[in-house]
Structure 1
């Protein structure tokens, strides 16, 4: 028997339903997608002495293809799962976005998988047993090398997800869960290599250990490396970062970005000593999907679903007298834009509320042109959010506006720019809200927490102790994005139809929409 062996651990993460190498909004080519990663994986499998293949979560949600499948083709096999089965994945971790389309879609995906899904820290509330059964996976190779993979995910899911999608589930701290499971697996299984696949990211700087975000528990990867003994390799995700070649407290760490832009690879070399496999060397790299031709077998699996999706995307659903195109994404956040006013008005009409808030969710939002298609709707409103009407106080509204006002900061020359905290370590532009139904003014020259200098409702000052009905998406209503002032507030009503459908239905009913701007808010830099 050989005295040495090299193990290749391959990991994908945050693919978010991307298979094909193009952007759905524009059709432009993009160096991403599971199709490209499939080609890389097949090549690595041919060249590897021993291989372990893991998906680290946020797989089945994120594109018009996955949305169309979940709504109209869910009686057929999930295309994402079919591709992972074809590639012979060893395990997958449940990410936070796995819940977005509801329990039945997730349950079906799990049932169709030829591999186990891991979630050691997602428990049934009543029994505290692991959700879907498996906290870890053991793989033993022909030469006797034994590996263990424990799967955990961010505990922060209840702060984002619709309650009905996570009913009867409890989300434990990944650190707390691993402090139990790592020694258990070591004692019971005695693996030669301990791998943790964590759908979460780093709360501290990898080099200095300096805190980089509030300690909410959303990201605990640094704590995992420093507080849980016995881990050899930590696969991370959720933050959409590109991390390679890093070691923290002896743990090799890696994170492969998002949308299938890179494949993570951790190489571990073992030497045999007294019948035991001992780690001799380990390091992590990222293999870019750039200039890689997609795997035709993977594309063929998804072709039927994609063709149906593309036909649906090109359906014209209404017209705009003018347009709501976004020429400058920053300008659309600093000065009221007709698209934002339109989304807020649709929310208000659907919910029967006269105050609303929404965000411009991503940097690629194109706006709406003269002839509106489903492609434009889902390219602007990319999340499967529903709506909640909350009863909140005037103070809650003020606090929420102050949190949004922190999105801006001033350059030395007095020009307003974006606060880097909303761009790094993970882009969070979706956490800047713009409101309708109130009048307000933000002065960026003032200290954070004191920037809202005008706040009125129907021409009168918003009173701190008065109660107001506000419609917002379910992510924000649950306190997502740090908006804890909304968490656990009374829910007056819920509109469970996805926002993309509400927007589409509005055009289908009205036929023609006229853009409007009432200039109810503004952002300034001093008087």
Structure 2
């Protein structure tokens, strides 16, 4: 057992210690198990985090356990419950069963809670033993924050007792406010249109904090499902941690959404951050990674002044459930899974395993996504083939049937923050339900958009922002911008084109136009001829991209000609069943421009080492392992 925190040890007469524990972005990852590869993994799972929770509670007299959202979607178990077993009001979702076991005090919603629709979400949280709050998830937007009507209460007031350095007990009222990105109305437009509205997080918090004080809150904790982004407030910004931290009246700020860890060296160059204390703009803050990888802890030393509690000192930390072995780069667990959590989800786990192990077809060749960010990718082309076949069938007999049909897809599993095991890797041989889920791990539904050639150019230019600008003639330059998530790197199948990373990016990683003269996409062709910028096309894609295209890019005015409730995973399943055994030959789609005497660096899984020599048009040379378990490759012509 750890010793009590230094904050607790400092408490004297009139001073008390309050510990806040945080989980965030659990994404229904309860067990340390990867259903896509059918094996145990060491760095994920609330069952492991539960052991850290028990230890942290044992070190403090008064603890709050809070979850910061994105708990419902993101694992095969979560999808199985949503799409195959179903959930009625009163049923116990396995992630809620696990959280009930751990005795959470409160939680807020994240953006992914809405992926399965409002009825499913409400059925899941309706069985919780703890309150959910969300101040800017609105059923009707009023003229002011106070006049908004909400899906859930905006905050909860928790009455607890704290103990001072002499052992004296005193009452304290803790207000917990919930916030999420207002972009939910765009990201899940199909589920939320005309039903749910949103409001800026900073505006909402600024209006409600005084109300919470008037209601008797001594300490205010903000559960903000948002990351650390720009310092200046911009209306409806997605990652608003710094502007929130600058608001008066917030005593502790709980963060998430971006799957990062705070405090950590990742933020050492961020203005206003004190990593030693774990503060942002002087406000105690914490962000506990994702999938249960860490337990966030904020220790507050409280003292009474003029009859009110105030924070005299604080300390934040994020405790990991596993560490990488420096010699093997394998994750080494620091704690065991908590048995009560394992028991709570055992039935759902076994049912998920049985479902994921169901056979669906066969592939004659292995399928992987190791090089999807630098080259044509077979795994994406399977998705595009399936999407195109479905859309073509649905558009038969319509005015759109004779237009050229393209398909867009992005690599969802391409390493990045999720680590070197986060790639699609399906060996030749039988295909199972887990193989389909490995190819497409999100619950997106099918859509088709009517676009013109110039709009396709803008779409691809946004994807091309995934790369750092490189300088011809220099060696070993980092290629991928880690701020750009791979799920936004769309390739458009049916076109051929080249991306030149030596040119400035037209768009930023967060989709803002930053250089209207910049162009990275070259030699863009359809059927071997230069793309006609006025030509009309149909693009098979998903509901998320359909909703976000216009929101991300003012140059694109989307017109959806097909919106169906069928998930793309179901479409891939049916495609495999009709076209098996799969023997897909990769077709030329896009390439990365290379230059003489120039090399790029690219991090990938160690499992990619035997495959690197098979990549046509590029030379990949292993450079060794990185501290986080990737293998770094040198890319040259």
C-alpha change, 1:525 and 1:271, in structure 2 (3 Å) is: same
- Are residue 24 (structure 1) and residue 75 (structure 2) matched? no
Task: Give 1:313's aligned residue.
Answer: 356
CA displacement at 1:165 relative to structure 2: 4.0
Task: Give 2:132's aligned residue.
Answer: 117
CA displacement at 1:134 relative to structure 2: 0.6
Of 180, 194, 201, the residue aligned with 1:153 is 180
User: What CA deviation, in whole Å up to 9, does each residue of 1:306-350 have, x standing for no partner?
Assistant: 101111111221112223234xx2x33322122222211111111
Of 13, 18, 25, the residue aligned with 2:24 is 13
Aligned residue for 1:470, secondary structure, equals strand
Of 68, 91, 96, the residue aligned with 1:56 is 68
Task: Give 1:200's aligned residue.
Answer: 226
Aligned residue for 2:126, secondary structure, equals helix
| Conserved? CA contact 2:228–2:239, under 8 Å | yes
CA displacement at 1:507 relative to structure 2: 1.5
| Conserved? CA contact 1:407–1:418, under 8 Å | no
Distance 2:210 2:595 in 1: 57
User: What CA deviation, in whole Å up to 9, does each residue of 1:108-151 have, x standing for no partner?
Assistant: 01211122211101111366644333101111113211111111
- Are residue 83 (structure 1) and residue 102 (structure 2) matched? no
Distance 1:28 1:115 in 2: 30
- Are residue 280 (structure 1) and residue 312 (structure 2) matched? yes
CA displacement at 1:418 relative to structure 2: 5.8
Aligned residue for 2:591, secondary structure, equals strand
Considering Cα pairs closer than 8 Å and 6+ residues apart, tell me whether 1 or 2 has the greater RCO.
Answer: 1
User: What CA deviation, in whole Å up to 9, does each residue of 1:418-467 have, x standing for no partner?
Assistant: 6553x13xx61111111212222223333333122212223443232333
Distance 1:480 1:32 in 2: 32
Unpaired runs of at least 5, structure 2: 1-11, 162-169, 264-276, 323-333, 393-403, 416-421, 506-517, 597-637
| Conserved? CA contact 2:185–2:196, under 8 Å | no
Aligned residue for 1:397, secondary structure, equals helix
User: What CA deviation, in whole Å up to 9, does each residue of 1:487-508 have, x standing for no partner?
Assistant: 7621100132111121112112
Of 323, 342, 354, the residue aligned with 2:366 is 323
Task: Give 2:208's aligned residue.
Answer: 181
Write out aligned runs for 1:459-470 (5 A). Answer: 459-470=528-539
CA displacement at 1:264 relative to structure 2: 0.7
C-alpha change, 1:273 and 1:181, in structure 2 (3 Å) is: closer
CA displacement at 1:7 relative to structure 2: 0.7
Of 394, 398, 405, the residue aligned with 1:354 is 405
CA displacement at 1:22 relative to structure 2: 2.7
Distance 2:530 2:567 in 1: 33
Aligned residue for 2:191, secondary structure, equals helix
Write out aligned runs for 1:478-493 (5 A). Answer: 478-479=547-548, 483-485=552-554, 489-493=558-562
Distance 1:29 1:438 in 2: 38
Q: Structure 1-normalised TM-score?
A: 0.91
Distance 2:229 2:549 in 1: 17
CA displacement at 1:234 relative to structure 2: 0.6
Write out aligned runs for 1:59-74 (5 A). Answer: 59-74=71-86
Aligned length: 513
Distance 1:292 1:481 in 2: 46
| Conserved? CA contact 1:356–1:472, under 8 Å | yes
- Are residue 251 (structure 1) and residue 278 (structure 2) matched? no
Distance 2:79 2:530 in 1: 42
Q: Structure 2-normalised TM-score?
A: 0.76
| Conserved? CA contact 1:23–1:30, under 8 Å | no
My pick for the range that moved more, 46-55 or 102-111, is 46-55
Distance 2:278 2:565 in 1: 43
User: What CA deviation, in whole Å up to 9, does each residue of 1:228-252 have, x standing for no partner?
Assistant: 2111111110011110242223211
- Are residue 224 (structure 1) and residue 244 (structure 2) matched? yes
CA displacement at 1:257 relative to structure 2: 0.4
My pick for the range that moved more, 358-367 or 442-451, is 442-451
Distance 1:86 1:342 in 2: 41
Of 373, 394, 399, the residue aligned with 2:458 is 399
* RMSD of aligned residue pairs (Cα, Å): 2.5
CA displacement at 1:483 relative to structure 2: 4.0
CA displacement at 1:90 relative to structure 2: 1.3
Distance 1:130 1:417 in 2: 51
Task: Give 1:104's aligned residue.
Answer: 119
My pick for the range that moved more, 292-301 or 317-326, is 317-326
CA displacement at 1:182 relative to structure 2: 0.9
Task: Give 2:59's aligned residue.
Answer: 47
| Conserved? CA contact 1:445–1:525, under 8 Å | no
Task: Give 2:343's aligned residue.
Answer: 300
Write out aligned runs for 1:121-140 (5 A). Answer: 121-125=136-140, 129-140=148-159
Distance 1:94 1:195 in 2: 15
CA displacement at 1:45 relative to structure 2: 2.8
| Conserved? CA contact 1:400–1:483, under 8 Å | no
Distance 1:126 1:408 in 2: 39
Unpaired runs of at least 5, structure 1: none
Distance 2:149 2:42 in 1: 38
